[in-house]
Structures are given as structure tokens and as C-alpha cells.
Amino acid sequence: MITKKLKASTLGLHAAIHRTGELEHSQAIFQTSSFIFRSAEDAAAVFAGKKSGNIYSRFTNPTVQAFERRLAILEGGESCIATASGMAAILTTCLVLLKQGDHLLASRTLFGTTISLFNTVLTKFGVEVSYADPCDLADWRAKLRPNTRLLFLETPTNPLGEIADIAGLAKIARGADAKLAVDNCFLTSALQKPMELGADLVVHSATKYLDGQGRCIGGAIVSDRKIGEQLFGFMRSGGPSMSPFNAWVFLKGLETMSLRMKAHCAHAQQVAEWLAKHPRVKRVYYAGLKSHPQHRLAKRQARGFGGIVSFELKGGQAAAFRLINRVELFSITANLGDARSTITHPSTTTHNRMGAEARKVAGIGDGLVRLSVGLEDPGDLIADLKQALG
Ligand SMILES: *Cc1c(COP(=O)(O)O)cnc(C)c1O
């Protein structure tokens, strides 16, 4: 029934439905740790891989598999592995694709915990890590080493919304016999499909827009079948698995994702345009603004600019704290991608651990505020920002 011709919004609702004999309309949750076998012979055949069947929810659970299949279809990949968190997805990707002595070349502007993971965990196992400017292909080319096996990036970046050229980086990776992994958390497959642009893997924090309502922690890795089998092998023995309940919540999230992402984009655009004209605002970082240095690249490689808007206030940290403490509709939380708008001060929270010097290089100032623009009426959000800035 499901064909390639169906659009993303339809696939989000209809792809990979697993219906039981009870004929439930909403999908069932298989909330069980293990599965039984009809006979000893059956158990032996399933364990030997001669017969398909569920064994144990660390690596085979129908609810988790339904989520994995639906996300694989949406991202245009052959395989998907769901993980306990976005960080587990990134760790799994690195442990499967890299070994001692290999080099990981990553964008220097990444989710803060991703940088901590690379610098403190991977290096402990003898993986070399270095960083390149996400927007400068020549810098990536110059930083390749003979042992580079993985390129890793996010686009748009957090919190400054810089845009990396996915197709250009895919070419560089291919030429170096390395894989390209893209963290597609900020735009999701509803707006950007890195694998169509040549990326080998897409990683997700499902915690953000895949859920869309801030309820569960989860992650996923989409890839081709061959890498998928290696990832599955690690899932089975390493165990960074997603729980069936969380998979069910994320399946529900995927049902509305296309529609939500469209609304997030439209609301963020209005908020960004309004902020850009405000006298207390020094600069707005949002790829949907024509003044954004990579506006055209963003338009070419994605179908929207997403819901994250950052801006630098005149008056540094004091002005940023004043705004954050005065808004009423924006929750003060480091999370993003929720239906409800959130507000964050990156330099003292999400990007604090990277240190002042690195923040300066990355351009994350003390007056910087990051908004995750939600599904509230955008006029209400603007009125709230107006009273808080006034
Ligand atoms: C939140 C986030 C992660 C980490 O995901 P968790 O689900 O919190 O582990 C990774 N990358 C990006 C871009 C994120 O925003």
C-alpha cells in the first residue's frame, strides 16, 4: 500500500503500521521485555537466525521496529536503529564506524554534549578528533587526514543557525573514503533529507521535534542496510536501546511532524523578522532572513528554516537575563522542539562547559538568547517578547 509516491505528511500517518489481530486503529504498545517461543525447536531456529521472530526487547520489539521503519521511510534510508537518547545515537554511530587510530572530523559548532562526548570519551579509546568550520568546505578538505573515517555535522547549527553544505561535504567524505553523518535534529526529514544530498547516515535526537511535545528521551540512526546491520549488532551487544513506550510516543509524534514543522517555520519566521527590527536587538541568527549569509544555500537544501531563532541583545548577559526572566509564554529550559516555546541563555547553560575561549571562537556571546519557537499564536509570542524587551 505504501508507495514512494506518497507525500511525507501521509507517510508519517500510514507508513509501517503494525496491526495486531485485535484490529486496533492506534498502534499497540508491546510493553514486554521478552517474547516466548512455541517450542524448543522454534526457539533454536529463531536464535540461529533461520526463522524470524522476536526474542528480547533490547534488540527486537515490534513497537520500536515500527518507529524505526517509519523514520527510515521518512528520511529515505534503508535502515533505522532507535536508541535510548540522541547522545546514544551519536555514541553508537562513532563506536560502530570508528576504531582506535581513526580520525573523526567534526563541525566545530555542535550540540555541546556532542563535543564533550567526542573530546572526553572517544579520545580515551584512541580516536583522533578535530574540528572544522561548518560553512567552509576548504577548511574541511584541509583538515582531512589519511585516517579520517567519519565526518560529523549539524545543520543548521546550534545556537547560531549556520548552514553547512551537505552535498559539498558528502563529496569530500566520498573522496576521502570516510562516511558523512548529519545530525538532522533541527529540521527533521519534514524539511531536510541529508541522505538525498549524499550523507551516509542521519542521526536524531528524537527528544526534540520527532516527539514534538517534550515527553520522552530517544534517538535514532538512519543508514543503508549494510551500516544498519553493523549498528544492529552493536545494539544487540551494547544495549543503548529505546524503550517500547518511548517508541510509541515517537510514532505518535511522527504522525503530526510535517504539519508541526510547517507551523514552527512560519512562526519562527515572523518572530525573527520582528526581532530584526527591534532597537534592543543587535543581530538575529535565522536562515530564513534574507540577510543571513547562507540564506540561499539553506533555501536550496531544505524545504524550510526550522523553529530555532537566536539573537544577540545589546547589553550582554544582564539584558539577556532580564528578557528571559520577564517573558511569560516562553519556558526557561534547555530543551527545544517542543510545541510550547522555550528560551535559553546558551553561554551560561547549554554551551557553558565549552569554556569562554571556545565560545568566543564560536561566536556565542553573553548577550545571545536562543528561542525554540512553538505552536502558540505567533502574534501572542511577539507581544510577549515586546513587553519583556520594553
Ligand atoms: C538534544 C540534542 C542532542 C542530544 O540528544 P538527547 O536526546 O538529549 O540525548 C544531539 N544533537 C542535537 C542537535 C540536539 O539538539
Nearest CA to ligand 1 atom 8: 86
Task: Give 204's strand partners.
Answer: 220
Tens of pLDDT, residue by residue over 336-367, are 999 999 999 999 998 888 788 888 888 899 99
At position 60, the amino acid (one-letter code) is: T
The pLDDT, as a whole number, for residue 125 is 97
Neighbour count for residue 177 (Cβ, 10 Å): 10
**Structure pTM?**
0.95
Name the residue with cell 563535543. 115
Q: Give the residue from 59, 72, 27, 55 showing the smallest Cα distance to 220.
A: 72
For the chain, the average pLDDT equals 96
Tens of pLDDT, residue by residue over 227-236, are 999 999 999 9
The pLDDT, as a whole number, for residue 361 is 83
pLDDT class of 370 with cuts at 50, 70, 90: very high
The Å distance, Cα 214 to ligand 1 centre, comes to 12
The pLDDT, as a whole number, for residue 1 is 55
The pLDDT, as a whole number, for residue 4 is 64
Nearest CA to ligand 1 atom 6: 86
In the predicted structure, residue 317 carries a pLDDT above the cut 60: yes
Per the structure block, which three cell numbers stand in for 350? 547549554
In the predicted structure, residue 141 carries a pLDDT above the cut 70: yes
The pLDDT, as a whole number, for residue 360 is 87
Task: Find out whether 107 and 254 touch, Cβ atoms under 8 Å.
Answer: no
Across 57-71, 190-204, 253-267, 348-362, least confident range: 348-362
Per the structure block, which three cell numbers stand in for 231? 549498528
pLDDT class of 2 with cuts at 50, 70, 90: low
* Over residues 92-112, mean pLDDT: 96
Max alpha carbon distance in the chain (Å)? 75
> Which atom of ligand 1 is nearest to 206's Cα?
7
The pLDDT, as a whole number, for residue 272 is 98
At position 21, the amino acid (one-letter code) is: G
Rounded CA-CA distance 78/221 in Å is: 11
Tens of pLDDT, residue by residue over 103-127, are 999 999 898 899 999 999 999 999 9
Task: Find out whether 271 and 378 touch, Cβ atoms under 8 Å.
Answer: yes
Task: Find out whether 100 and 127 touch, Cβ atoms under 8 Å.
Answer: yes
Ligand 1: which of 83, 162, 203, 207 to mutate, most ligand atoms within 8 Å of CB? 207
Tens of pLDDT, residue by residue over 5-24, are 899 999 999 999 989 999 99
The Å distance, Cα 343 to ligand 1 centre, comes to 16
**% of the chain beyond a pLDDT of 90:** 92
In the predicted structure, residue 182 carries a pLDDT above the cut 60: yes
Cβ < 6 Å from ligand 1: which residues? 85-87, 111, 114, 154, 158, 183, 185, 205, 207-208, 217, 219
The pLDDT, as a whole number, for residue 350 is 86
The Å distance, Cα 87 to ligand 1 centre, comes to 6
The pLDDT, as a whole number, for residue 205 is 98
Per the structure block, which three cell numbers stand in for 248? 510509541
Name the residue with cell 500510514. 14
In the predicted structure, residue 61 carries a pLDDT above the cut 90: yes
Q: Decide: helix, strand or coil at residue 312.
A: strand
Nearest CA to ligand 1 atom 1: 205
Nearest CA to ligand 1 atom 11: 111
The Å distance, Cα 186 to ligand 1 centre, comes to 9
The Å distance, Cα 25 to ligand 1 centre, comes to 31
Per the structure block, which three cell numbers stand in for 48? 540461529
Nearest CA to ligand 1 atom 12: 111
